[in-house]
Structure 1
Amino acid sequence: MTSTTEKTVTDMSVFEALESEVRSYCRSFPTIFDKARGYKLWDTQGREFIDFFAGAGALNYGHNNSRIKSKLIDYLTDDHVVHSLDMATVAKESFLKRFQDVILSPRGMDYKVMFPGPTGANTVESALKLARKVTGRQTVISFTKAFHGMTLGALAVTGNAFKRKGAGVPLHHAVSMPYDQYHENVDSLTLLERYLEDDGSGVDLPAAIILETVQGEGGINVAGSEWLKQVEQICRRWDILLIVDDVQAGCGRTGPFFSFEEAGIQPDMVCLSKSIGGYGLPFAITLIKPELDQWAPGEHNGTFRGHNLAFVAATEALSYWETDELTQDILRKGEKVRLALEEMAAKHPELQTDVRGRGLMQGISFASEGFADRVCQAAFQRGLIMETSGPDSEVAKVMPPLTIDDEGLDKGLSILEESIQAAKQSSTQ
Structure 2
Amino acid sequence: MNIVSQSLSSSAAPISRAHCLAMDAADTLASRRDLFALPQDVIYLDGNSLGAMPKAVPSRMTQAIEQEWAVGLIRSWNDADWYPAPQRVGGRIASLIGAKPNEVIVADSTSVNLFKLLVSALRMRAGRNVILGENGNFPTDAYVASGVAELTGAQHRAVAPADVMAALTEDVAVLTLTHVNYKSGQAYDMAAVTRRAHEVGALVIWDLAHTAGAMPCDLNGCEADFAVGCGYKYLNGGPGAPSFVFVAERHHESVRQPITGWHGHAKPFEFTQTYVPAPGIDRMLVGTAPQMGLFALEAALTAFDGVDMQALRAKSLALTELFIRLVDQELSEHGFGLATPREAGLRGSQVSLTHAEGYAIVQALIARGVIGDFRAPDILRFGFAALYLSHADVWDAIATLKDVMVSGIWRSAEFMARKAVT
TM-score, length of structure 1 as denominator length? 0.66
The answer to whether the aligner puts 1:141 opposite 2:132 as a matched pair is yes
User: What residue number does 2:203 align with?
Assistant: 241
Change (3 A) 1:412 1:325: farther
* Change beyond 3 A, Cα 1:39–1:416: farther
SS in 1 for 2:129: coil
**SS of match in other structure, 1:274:** coil
Q: State the alpha-carbon separation in 2 of the partners of residues 190 and 355 from structure 1.
A: 22
Q: Which residue of structure 1 aligns with residue 26 of structure 2?
A: none
Q: Which moved further from structure 2: 327-336 or 123-132?
A: 327-336
Q: Are 2:62 and 1:79 aligned?
A: no
- Report the alpha carbon displacement of residue 395 of structure 1 after superposing the two structures with TM: 2.4
User: What do residues 176-228 of structure 1 show as CA deviations (whole Å, max 9, x unaligned)?
Assistant: 12214xxxxxxx255325xx26xxxxxxx122101112101x332333x3xx3
Residues 270, 286 of structure 1: 8 Å contact kept: yes
In 2, the alpha carbon distance for the partners of 1:234 and 1:289 equals: 18
Asked if residue 53 in structure 1 is aligned to residue 43 in structure 2, the reply is no
Q: Which amino acid aligns with 2:353?
A: S
> How much identity, in percent, do the aligned residues show?
11
What is the alpha-carbon distance in structure 2 between the residues aligned to residue 102 and residue 426 of structure 1?
43
Residue among 158, 166, 169 paired with 1:176 = 158
Provide the residue aligned with 2:247 in structure 1: 288
The alpha-carbon deviation at position 53 of structure 1 amounts to 1.9
Task: Decide which of 356, 376, 392 is 2:362's aligned counterpart.
Answer: 376
Separation in structure 2 between the aligned mates of residue 105 and residue 336 of structure 1, nearest angstrom:
20
Deviation of 1:322 after TM superposition, in Å, equals 3.2
Among 315, 334, 340, the residue aligned to 2:323: 340
Match of 1:387 in 2: 373
Deviation at 1:265?
2.0
Q: Of the candidates 161, 172, 175, which is equivalent to residue 206 of structure 1?
A: 172
Structure 1 position 231 matched with structure 2 position 193:
yes
Provide closer, same or farther for how the CA distance between residues 297 and 132 of structure 1 changes in structure 2, counting only shifts above 3 A: closer
Alpha-carbon displacement from aligned partner over 1:286-309 (angstroms, at most 9, x marks no partner):
111234343379526898650112
Partner of 2:187: 222
For residue 416 of structure 1, what is the aligned residue in structure 2?
401
Match of 2:94 among 99, 103, 107: 103
Gaps of 5+ in 1: 1-36, 42-47, 159-166, 181-187, 198-204
Paired residues of 2:350 and 2:384 also in contact (CA < 8 A): no
Partners of 2:159 and 2:167 within 8 A in 1 = yes
User: Could you give the per-residue CA deviations for residues 124-147 of structure 1, whole angstroms, max 9, x where no partner exists?
Assistant: 212112111222343210112111
Letter in 1 for 2:397: G
State the alpha-carbon separation in 1 of the partners of residues 394 and 82 from structure 2. Answer: 34
- 8 Å contact from structure 1 (residues 214, 222) kept in 2: yes
**1:293-329 superposed Cα distances (whole Å, 9 cap, x missing partner):** 4337952689865011222222223323332346524
- CA drift of 1:245 comes to 0.3
Instruction: Name the counterpart of 2:112.
Output: 122
Separation in 2 of the partners of 1:243 and 1:383? 37
Q: Aligned partners of 2:295, 2:49: CA distance in 1, in Å?
A: 19
**CA–CA separation in structure 1 for the residues paired with 2:388 and 2:96:** 28
Shift of 1:353: 1.9
In structure 2, what is the Cα distance between the partners aligned to 1:329 and 1:105? 11
The alignment yields a C-alpha RMSD, in angstroms, of 4.0
Amino acid of the residue matched to residue 233 of structure 1?
Answer: R
CA spacing shift, 1:176–1:383, aligned 2, 3 Å: same
Structure that is richer in helix per residue:
2
Residue correspondences, number: 339
Number of the residue aligned with 1:29: none
Partner of 1:67: 56
State the shift of 1:154 in Å: 4.2
In 2, the alpha carbon distance for the partners of 1:79 and 1:110 equals 26
Change (3 A) 1:209 1:333: closer
TM-aligned CA distance change 1:145 to 1:297, over 3 Å: closer
Structure 2 unaligned regions, length at least 5? 1-35, 263-284, 413-422
**What SS is found at the alignment partner of 2:175?**
strand
Question: Deviation of residue 121 (structure 1)?
Answer: 1.3
Could you say what secondary structure the match of 2:111 adopts? helix
In the aligned structure 2, how far is the partner of 1:105 from the partner of 1:361?
15
SS of structure 1 residue aligned to 2:68: coil
Matched residue type, 1:122: V
